[in-house]
Amino acid sequence: MKFGYTRVSTRGQARTGYSLQAQRDVLIQSGVNEANIFEDAGISGAKSSRPALDEMLSKLRPDDEVVVPALSRLGRNLTDLMRLVETLTKQQVTVRFLSESIDTSSATGRMMIGIFGAVAEMEREQIAERTALGRERSKALGRTGGRPKKYGSDTLKHVARMEENSGLTVKQRAAALGIPLASYYVLRKQTV
């Protein structure tokens, strides 16, 4: 029996990137019954335990085939990927990666998975390194991450003055400054 597995790391990828629907379509075109497709959304390929993957693995029997749109969908951690492929091979389950055109039915296919897996892991580590360097560079230039503050120091000063000299209720103070009550409470804590 053929089983399919799809995964996206983030909800954003599910909507815009290599979407679950696009992966599902590829699997159906390759002969996988839609009822046998297992999907993990918002879960990193670096995690060895994923709910849909675990469920699919529990259903596999000898001579079954697992079809995956791309090697990176099954895993980006080489050790876990190779362990999973080895386990499935011992269970006489074939794994086929569509975009790389390789499967585990031959020694050459298993070797190619190791090579591609190593490249995917290296790419992931390089992205993490570049991201860390970018954050360090921005920090050295005095830039911090996150959303810009909605209210500046002037608003904070007005809140401080209101707290000192006003007979108004908190709700009236927030209204007088034209800001939501919840924001007023946040700004009020910053003045203390």
Question: How confident is the model at residue 35, as a pLDDT?
Answer: 95
Q: Is the predicted pLDDT of residue 38 greater than 60, yes or no?
A: yes
Please tell me the distance from the alpha carbon of residue 96 to that of residue 27, in angstroms, as a whole number: 11
Report residue 48's pLDDT band, with 50, 70 and 90 as the boundaries.
low
Residues 22-33 have a mean pLDDT of: 93
Same domain, 97 and 179: no
Please tell me the distance from the alpha carbon of residue 74 to that of residue 47, in angstroms, as a whole number: 10
Same domain, 98 and 185: no
Residues 176-184 have a mean pLDDT of: 90
Same domain, 116 and 69: yes
Instruction: For residue 46, give the nearest of 121, 158, 138, 100 by alpha carbon.
Output: 121
Q: Is the predicted pLDDT of residue 12 greater than 70, yes or no?
A: no
Confirm whether 180 is domain-assigned. Answer: yes
User: What's this model's pTM, rounded to 2 decimal places?
Assistant: 0.59
Please tell me the distance from the alpha carbon of residue 34 to that of residue 55, in angstroms, as a whole number: 15
Active-site residue, 48 included: no
Residues 20-42 have a mean pLDDT of: 91
Q: Is the predicted pLDDT of residue 42 greater than 90, yes or no?
A: no
Q: Based on the structure, what is the number of domains in the chain?
A: 2
Report residue 13's pLDDT band, with 50, 70 and 90 as the boundaries.
low
Question: How confident is the model at residue 32, as a pLDDT?
Answer: 94
Write out pLDDT tens, residues 123-142.
878 988 999 999 899 888 88
Q: What is the 3-state secondary structure (H, E, C) of the chain?
A: CEEEEEEECCHHHHHHCCCHHHHHHHHHHCCCCHHHEEEEECCCCCCCCCHHHHHHHHHCCCCCEEEECCHHHHCCCHHHHHHHHHHHHHCCCEEEECCCCEECCCHHHHHHHHHHHHHHHHHHHHHHHHHHHHHHHHHHCCCCCCCCCCCCHHHHHHHHHHHHHCCCCHHHHHHHHCCCHHHHHHHHHHHC
Same domain, 101 and 168: no
Of the residues 9, 44, 72, 183, which is catalytic? Answer: 9
- Looking up residue 11, the CATH number of its domain turns out to be 3.40.50.1390
Question: How confident is the model at residue 91, as a pLDDT?
Answer: 93
Question: How confident is the model at residue 17, as a pLDDT?
Answer: 54
Q: Both tokens of residue 127? A: 């992205």
